[in-house]
């Protein structure tokens, strides 16, 4: 248990110390007018308080990734928590901060615009396609997972009434529903899930089209309250279970069966290759949003367009990522502690995806009523990322085709084809979508980190804070592409060598092609449009 709180403390210290270092390297200008005031179109650009922006930023970036990813990552053991902590401080938060601040400096520009400016037009074309694919995949994926959880909640609540069961008896209620025979208004569970899918999709359409302060700015505080309850509630449940006199949960028991405690030898056993799912590179793609995620680069400019002052950047962008890392640690601990061994966790995931782990553990730790609220706190994460995924896709397409978004008809011009395409993509098998989403997500993060490194290198700043994480994730993505079946399907050892070789080539090209400049400040998107 102490290991968990130690990791949380390190994340907080990372924000206070390393976050300040990153801010000094970037060099903020509190007197510079932000896009919220430069543009202020009443739809996507408008000033908002930093507390509200931080909350929206957290809900935007924290989909199912910091929950499902760490649960899957727990199969590798406690070493998964190292990636969450180290990745969050030195890669993920750095990635989000530079994406947000560079967007502010360039008139609220999207990440493809920034990549094109600092890495060249070919990269801009590539990342435009990749980011749009990623946003579409996110929007579709983040319809399915909350719909499944909401369907389960609906069936359990209604099933309790029909089965004359007590709501406090969580396991009895859930087993009765899972056994079948219970319906809600004549609908079985699959139909109920379909209804929730339609409801969530309808909400996404509204959130994509309406001004950002009409829905997102108003209901996100409620969603934030549910998120807070989920996070605090699960920590309370874990601590209470650990000190229970009846059936105490022993953390890390998955590698501590002999009762000798967590030793260094046992800890490093987690680095060993595990069949066809080796820790390198798969762990670093499995746990993405809790440590490093390219999806954040598509969301962060949304809030960069609402920030009132550059001095708020560290709190909004770096701070939201640290908070997401803490959420990831909570669910990694659930994966490590709730089941007797890794096989039991694997069986639960196979039976109902990580959502089954979320549901079963929440009800176990907090009872039926408390568990339902905790699950609702989980549900809001993918919903509040899916809505802004489609919104970001609309804005990116508007930037590509130079379509003004102040009027509703012009927003519909982009949104309608986008949602029609999203519907057809949703018919593809979920497991296939998830594999491509995982790789596209970290590839986008890789490009954003190279973009940040290029900006720092060009303007004679300490670029290593972005360069080193960029090299690391480049190796991860390249190795995954060479090794995985969705890529080339090569031998594992050969894939590792080729992954490192690809990174070396990228580093050489980076220093050869990225030119240095003596300009004090890069040209902003607003300035260039004015010309």
Read off the pLDDT of residues 385-433 as tens digits, 9 standing for 90 and up. Answer: 888 788 888 888 888 888 888 888 898 899 888 888 887 777 776 667 7
- 481 pLDDT more than 70: yes
DSSP reduced 3-state for 515: coil
Angle between helices 50-61 and 342-401 (to 10 degrees): 120
Q: Give the mean pLDDT of 485-498.
A: 92
Domains of the chain: 1-428 (1.20.1740)
Amino acid 483: pLDDT: 93
Q: Check pLDDT > 50 for residue 166.
A: no
Which H or E run includes 324? helix 319-337
Q: What secondary structure does DSSP assign to 18-34, as a single string?
A: HHHHHHHHH---TTSPP
**Exposed e or buried b per residue across 230-263, where buried means at least 16 C-beta atoms within 10 angstroms of its C-beta:** bbebbbebbeebeeeeeeebebbebbeeeeeeee
- Is 402 or 274 the better-scoring residue by pLDDT? 402
Per the model's pLDDT, the better-predicted residue between 129 and 19 turns out to be: 19
343-381 pLDDT, tens digit per residue, is: 888 888 887 678 788 888 888 888 878 888 888 888 887
Residues 6+ apart with CB under 8 A from 529: 107
User: Is a pLDDT exceeding 50 seen at residue 189?
Assistant: yes
What are the φ/ψ torsions at residue 47 (nearest 5 degrees)?
-70, 140
Q: Which of 19-28, 57-66, 226-235 has the highest mean pLDDT?
A: 19-28
pLDDT band at 167 (very low <50, low <70, confident <90, very high): very low
Q: What is the mean pLDDT of residues 174-202?
A: 74
- pLDDT at 149 > cutoff 60: yes
Question: pLDDT-derived band of residue 93, with 50, 70 and 90 as boundaries?
Answer: very high
Note the pLDDT of residue 168. 43
At 18 the pLDDT is 98
Per-residue confidence at 205, pLDDT binned at 50, 70, 90? confident
- Report pLDDT digits (tens) over 235-271: 888 888 877 766 666 655 444 444 444 455 545 545 5
Integer Cα distance of 502 and 506 in angstroms: 6
Tell me what the pLDDT averaged over the chain comes to.
83
Q: What are phi and psi of 363, to 5 degrees?
A: -70, -35
d(CA 405, CA 26): 31
pLDDT of residue 511: 92
Query: What are phi and psi for residue 338, nearest 5 degrees?
Result: -75, -35
Is the CB of residue 138 less than 8 Å from the CB of residue 437? yes
Asked if residue 69 has pLDDT above 70, the reply is yes
């Amino acid at each position: 248990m102490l290991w968990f709180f130690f990791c949380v403390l390190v994340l907080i210290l990372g924000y206070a110390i390393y976050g300040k270092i990153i801010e000094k390297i970037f060099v903020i200008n509190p007197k510079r007018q932000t896009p919220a005031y430069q543009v202020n179109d009443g739809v996507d650009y408008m000033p908002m308080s930093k507390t509200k922006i931080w909350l929206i930023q957290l809900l935007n970036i924290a989909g199912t990734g910091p929950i499902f990813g760490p649960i899957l990552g727990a199969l590798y053991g406690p070493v998964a928590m190292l990636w969450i902590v180290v990745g969050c401080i030195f890669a993920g938060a750095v990635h989000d901060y530079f994406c947000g601040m560079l967007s502010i400096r360039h008139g609220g520009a999207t990440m493809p615009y920034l990549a094109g400016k600092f890495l060249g037009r070919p990269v801009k074309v590539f990342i435009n396609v990749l980011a749009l694919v990623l946003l579409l995949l996110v929007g579709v994926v983040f319809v399915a997972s909350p719909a499944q959880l909401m369907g389960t909640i609906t069936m359990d609540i209604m099933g309790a009434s029909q089965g004359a069961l007590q709501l406090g008896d969580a396991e009895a209620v859930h087993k009765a529903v899972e056994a079948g025979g219970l319906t809600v208004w004549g609908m079985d569970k699959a139909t109920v899930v379909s209804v929730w899918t339609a409801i969530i999709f309808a909400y996404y359409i509204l959130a994509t089209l309406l001004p950002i302060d009409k829905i997102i700015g108003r209901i996100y505080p409620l969603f934030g309250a549910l998120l807070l309850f989920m996070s605090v509630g699960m920590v309370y449940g874990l601590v209470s279970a650990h000190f229970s006199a009846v059936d105490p949960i022993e953390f890390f028991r998955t590698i501590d069966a002999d009762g000798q405690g967590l030793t260094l030898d046992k800890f490093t056993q987690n680095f060993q290759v595990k069949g066809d799912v080796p820790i390198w590179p798969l762990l670093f793609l499995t746990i993405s949003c809790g440590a490093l995620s390219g999806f954040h680069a598509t969301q962060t400019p949304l809030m960069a367009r609402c920030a009132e002052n550059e001095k708020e950047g560290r709190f909004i962008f770096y701070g939201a990522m640290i908070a997401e890392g803490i959420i990831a640690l909570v669910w990694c601990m659930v994966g490590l502690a709730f089941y007797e061994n890794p096989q039991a966790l694997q069986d639960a995931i196979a039976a109902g995806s990580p959502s089954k782990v979320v549901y079963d553990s929440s009800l176990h730790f907090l009872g039926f009523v408390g568990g339902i609220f905790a699950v609702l706190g989980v549900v809001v994460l993918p919903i509040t990322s899916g809505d802004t995924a489609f919104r970001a896709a609309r804005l990116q397409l508007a930037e590509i085709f130079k379509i003004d978004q102040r009027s509703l008809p012009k927003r519909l011009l982009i949104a309608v084809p986008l949602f029609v395409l999203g519907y057809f993509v949703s018919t593809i098998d979920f497991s296939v979508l998830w594999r491509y989403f995982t790789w596209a997500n970290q590839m986008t993060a890789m490009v954003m980190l190279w973009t940040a490194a290029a900006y720092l290198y060009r303007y004679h700043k300490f670029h290593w804070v972005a360069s080193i994480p960029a090299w690391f994730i480049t190796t991860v993505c390249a190795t995954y592409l060479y090794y995985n079946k969705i890529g080339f399907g090569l031998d594992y050892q050969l894939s590792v060598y080729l992954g490192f070789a690809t990174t070396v080539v990228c580093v050489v090209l980076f220093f050869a092609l990225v030119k240095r400049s003596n300009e004090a400040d890069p040209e902003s998107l607003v300035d260039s449009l004015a010309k």
